[in-house]
Structure 1
C-alpha cells in the first residue's frame, strides 16, 4: 500500500469524524430528549446507574435509515 493512499484514507477518516462530531454538537444544542423518552430504561441503585435507551436507539436508527435511503436514491439516479 502506498503511503499517499494511506494518507488519503486517514484524512478522509478524520474528516468523517469531524463531521460526526459537528452533528453531535448540534444535536446537543437542540436539547432533544434522547435518552429520556418513554421506553428508555434506567436502573439506579446507590452509586450505580445503567441506561438502556431502547426507544431513542430505535428513533435514531429509523431517521438514519431514511436519510441514507434518500442519499442513495439520489446517487443512483
Structure 2
C-alpha cells in the first residue's frame, strides 16, 4: 500500500509540473469585463479527469 501511495504521489508531482509549465489549455473559458474576471477550466478539468480515471483503472488492475 505504501508503494502505491509513493507512485501516485510521483504521478501527481509530474502532473503538477506539466500543468505549471503549460498553464491554461486551449478551450478553457475566460470572460473578462470591467471589474470582473471569470475563468472556467473546462478542458483542463476533462484532461485531469481522464488522467485520474486511467490512474485508478491501472491501480485497480494491479490490486
TM-score (norm 1): 0.56
Structure scoring higher RCO (CA < 8 A, sep ≥ 6) equals 2
Question: Structure 1: where are the runs of 5+ without partners?
Answer: 1-19
* Regions of 4+ moved over 4 Å: none
Q: Map of 1:1-77 to 2, 5 A cutoff?
A: 23=12, 27=16, 29-30=17-18, 31-34=20-23, 36-75=24-63
What CA RMSD, in Å, does the superposition of the two structures yield over aligned residues? 2.4
Q: CA offset at residue 47 of structure 1? A: 1.4
TM-score (norm 2): 0.66
Q: Distance in 2 between matches of 1:65 and 1:32?
A: 22
**How many residues are matched?**
52
